[in-house]
Amino acid sequence: MAENEQEQRMATPRMAAGALFFDDQNQVLLVKPSYKPKWEIPGGYIERGESPMAACRREVEEELGITPGIGPLLVVDWAPSEAEGDKVLYVFDGGQLAPDELFEIKLPPDELLAAKFHPADDLDELLIPRLARRVKAAITARSQSHPQYLEHGNSPASA
Q: How many angstroms separate the CA atoms of 13 and 80, rounded?
A: 8
124, pLDDT greater than 70: yes
pTM confidence score:
0.92
pLDDT recorded at residue 85 = 87
Q: How many angstroms separate the CA atoms of 22 and 146, rounded?
A: 18
Q: What is the pLDDT of residues 28-42, one digit of tens each?
A: 999 999 999 999 999
Q: Which long-range contacts (CB under 8 A, 24 or more apart) does 3-11 make?
A: 11/86
The domain ranges of the chain are 12-151
70 or 157: whose pLDDT is higher? Answer: 70
- The closest of 30, 105, 43, 33 to 70, measured between CA atoms, is 43
The strand pair at 112-118 and 148-151 is best described as unpaired
133 or 85: whose pLDDT is higher? Answer: 133
pLDDT recorded at residue 84 = 83
CATH class of the domain comprising 12-151? alpha beta
Across the chain, mean pLDDT equals: 93
